[in-house]
Structure formats: structure tokens, C-alpha cells
Amino acid sequence: MKFSLTSEQDDLTQVLSDYLDARAPLTTTRALLEAGTAFDRDVWGRMAADLGVQGVDVPESLDGTGMSTVELSLVMHEAGRRLYSGPLLASTGLALSLLLAVDEPGDEVRSLIADLCGGTIVIAAVPDAGGAWAASSVSTTAEDGAAGWTLTGVKQLVLQADVADTLLIAAVLTDGSPGLFAVDPTAAVVTVLDSIDPTRNLCSIELAQSPARLVVRDAADAIARGALRASVALAGESLGAARQTLESAAAYATDRRQFGQPIGVFQGVKHRLADALVDIELATSAVYLAACHVDADDRPQALASVPMALRAATDALSRAARDAVQVHGGVGFTWEYDAHLFVKRGRVSRELLGSPAERLDAVYLHGPELARSS
């Protein structure tokens, strides 16, 4: 397969890059972090109104921009470069994936999609203990009483639940199948957990007979399909973060001089950066391939290409961030430099939506189907 970005995709990347550089650069992320503010809601709202970023790959019939999963990965890439602290991954990347995966969306699903595209923050909580999305990982229970549905259970490691306007909760119905429910955050106890990534919070959600609205009754397939798109979004974000931290390290290696010459000329530095670049370029190809498979709804192929892409992208970020710390030498781990923020983002991203070992298992299991098509 020969793949290259179209001029429209290049334009989208440039427009979003300019927008984020002006309104949400990494320096702003750091300033918000030091001020104890999660993110700038005005910037979030203008992203929806001015650019339609939150619904980039949502069909126009559902009030979206009507682009593809490739464009979604490009949007996430630009957000990842700046370690954007808004809930773009949590809402657009994760929650929207569940909603778009519903085969025949009803009024509740359509309404949530439209709200999300307009800037409403919808946060998804699928597995109870965090990790990979699967129907078998849901144990929160749902009961249908005289006053309506109520949910009981605890969701752990939910990304940015503390800023949610609506919670999208997976819970087990009385017949044993998983359903999706909309819950007002005020009806649950949301607690921010300790996390090594200070740029965005991980939370727990405690539900004790919390009132809820049924959105999707039999959601097992939506969870499985949604996990594929969500993984592409996370891979795109990780790829952007990897590329940014590598470029920062390369710039430092060019400016920093030792023995009368830039440290980048020494093999121990330039070979390290070159190896990281190879990882990033290979991961880029894997992410685009996975995005194409998800966009085409080619599930047999996506079941192999998506975990492969996510494994490659998160590994590339981890390596690039680690190498950036080393290239910066004695200042690499200090608060004043950004390298440590990318290390922390990489560590958390590696464990979102499942572990690296689970992704490798999925590639081994479904890889033959991908090989047969190549």
C-alpha cells in the first residue's frame, strides 16, 4: 500500500497546529499545571465552534465535520505534540468512539454525539479496573426500578472524569449483557487519583444507586468496535508527543556545545536520536494503516493493525522521551525542562486501553489475517 497525506489533510494539520501554537502551546500547559487549572475551557469551546475538531470524523448527518479516522489521528498528533491538557483524547478519542460504534444510533446516541461535537465533555468509563475495553471487564450493575435506571459500582483509572459534563458508563444489565448509560457527574462521587502524569488526571467514579439514562442496551459490539477507534486516537496522540520530544532533543543537541562542537556530532548522541527517529517513522506508518482499516470498518484487519500501531506508537514515545532526558544530560530530569513531562505522559499512555503485553498478544492472535492481505 502506498500512502501519503492529501493536501486537505496537510491543511488541517497546519490550521490546527497554528491554532494550538497560538492558544494552547506547551508553555500554556505548564502554566495551567502550575496554577492548578485542568485546562482552558474557552479554548476548548472555540475549538468546537471555530474548527469542529471534537467531531472531526463524525458524519455530517450526525453534526460532525465528516472526515475520516486518518484525520482523527492527525488531530490527536497535534494535541500530543503540545501535551494538550484538555479532554480531547478522553472525550473525542474515547467516549465518542463508543457512540460512533453503535450500529443503529437512537435519539439518545445522536443527541450525545451532537452535544459532544458542540463542545460538551463526555467521559467514558468502560472497564471497572481500568485497562482494555471488553464486555467481560464490566462489573458495575444496572437496575431498572420504578423511578428509572440506577447504577452501582466503582470505575477506576478513568481519564479526566473530573472535568466531565456527562459520564458515559458501561454497566451490566439484568440479562448479563453490558449497556451504556449517561450519568450526571453530580450523581456520582468522582475522586482524582494520584498519577505520575500531572498534565491530566486519572479518576475513580463511585456509583451508589446513581440515577442514569439508558443510551445503548446491548453494547458488547459497540465496546469492541469502539476500542479500535479509541486506540487509533491514543496512538496518534502518542506519536505526536514522541515526535515533539525527539525534535526538542535534536535542537538541544545542536545548540549545546562541548569540546568546541555541538554534542550532536558525537556518535553516542546522534545514533540515539537516529534510532528514535526510525521508531517514530515506523510507528507513523502503522498508525496510518490502522486508521485506514478502522475507517473502512475492516475489522479482521483492524484487530491486528490497531494493537500493532498502538504498541509501536507508545513504545516510540517511551523511547524518545527517555532518550531526550539522556541527551539533555544533567538538566534532563529537572522541572524547568519539558523532557520529564513527556516521560510521564508516555508511562501512562502505555497502560491506557490495555497493557503492552495485551497488545502484543492481539497482534499474535490476529496477525495472520493482516499478513494474508499484504
Per-residue pLDDT reduced to its tens digit, 145-173: 999 999 999 999 999 999 999 999 999 99
pLDDT tens per residue, range 247-282: 999 999 998 888 889 888 888 899 999 999 999 999
- pLDDT at residue 262, as a whole number: 87
Nearest Cα to Cα of residue 47 among 9, 81, 85, 10:
85
Q: Where are the alpha helices (DSSP H) in the chain?
A: 7-23, 26-35, 41-46, 69-81, 96-100, 107-117, 220-255, 267-295, 299-327, 339-351, 356-373
Q: Using 50, 70 and 90 to split pLDDT, how confident is the model at 241?
A: very high
- pLDDT at residue 364, as a whole number: 81
- pLDDT, averaged across the chain: 93
Nearest Cα to Cα of residue 64 among 23, 24, 105:
105
- pLDDT at residue 330, as a whole number: 80
Q: What is the DSSP letter of 181?
A: E
Distance CA 213, CA 60 (A): 25
Nearest Cα to Cα of residue 166 among 193, 191, 186, 192:
186
Nearest Cα to Cα of residue 72 among 234, 313, 279, 308:
234
Residue 154 pairs in a beta bridge with 206
Instruction: Return the top range by mean pLDDT from 150-154, 327-331, 361-365.
Output: 150-154
- pLDDT at residue 106, as a whole number: 93
pTM > 0.75: yes
Distance CA 38, CA 35 (A): 9
Q: Using 50, 70 and 90 to split pLDDT, how confident is the model at 3?
A: confident
Would you state the cell numbers that stand for residue 137, as one nine-digit string? 471487564
